[in-house]
Structure 1
Amino acid sequence: MARVCSRPGCSAPATVTFTFEPDALVVWVGDLAPDATAPGHDLCAEHGERLSAPRGWRMEDVRANRPPLPKLDADSPMLSRAFRGVRAS
């Protein structure tokens, strides 16, 4: 039987598993755990992307198939606009 999202009211197939450690104030989002009885909570793709950590916690995305951030050319107009007016200290 396929695993489904653990969000109430959502029956979409689970694609990620998240776990957390309250003492370390960290939340991990990873690939779907191979064992359905492993600790953590399963989420569908949509709820996995929208998951956020509580204020003061850090979120670590450890998914193997997460697309990498695009590499920007140093001369990119997007970079120059983003850093316009920023002074090096």
Structure 2
Amino acid sequence: MRERICSKVSCDREAVATLTFDYEGRQAALGPLGLGNDPHAHDLCALHADRLQVPQGWTVLRHAAFAPR
């Protein structure tokens, strides 16, 4: 299986998490690396997963492995 790379521009780190959005519910979900076949999901490296910020008024649902330190 090919290594998955972070979706952030100019980042070549290995992806460790997948980010998805619920625009209607104003929520972002950050969890373990997904299957990789969802065009609306974004893979993130550990650095970018840790730095995740969402618009004001949004909620972030984080899997326990990706809870802020």
What does residue 9 of structure 1 align with? 10
**Contact 2:15-2:43 at 8 Å conserved across structures:** yes
- The Cα RMSD (Å) is 1.9
Give the secondary structure class of the aligned counterpart of 2:28. strand
- State the TM-score, normalizing by the size of structure 2: 0.86
**Contact 2:30-2:66 at 8 Å conserved across structures:** no
TM-fit CA distance, 1:62: 1.8
Higher Rg:
1
TM-fit CA distance, 1:17: 0.2
- Report the identity percentage: 32
Structure 1 residues 26 and 10, CA gap change in structure 2 (3 angstroms): same
Which structure 1 residue ranges, 5 or more long, are not aligned? 70-89
CA separation in 2, counterparts of 1:10 and 1:49?
14
**Contact 2:49-2:66 at 8 Å conserved across structures:** no
- State the TM-score, normalizing by the size of structure 1: 0.68
Moved segments of 4+, more than 2 Å? none
How many residues are matched?
67
Which structure 2 residue ranges, 5 or more long, are not aligned? none
- Map Cα deviations across residues 5-62 of structure 1 (whole Å, 9 max, x no partner): 00000000000000011100000000111x1113410000000000111111111102
CA separation in 1, counterparts of 2:11 and 2:66?
22
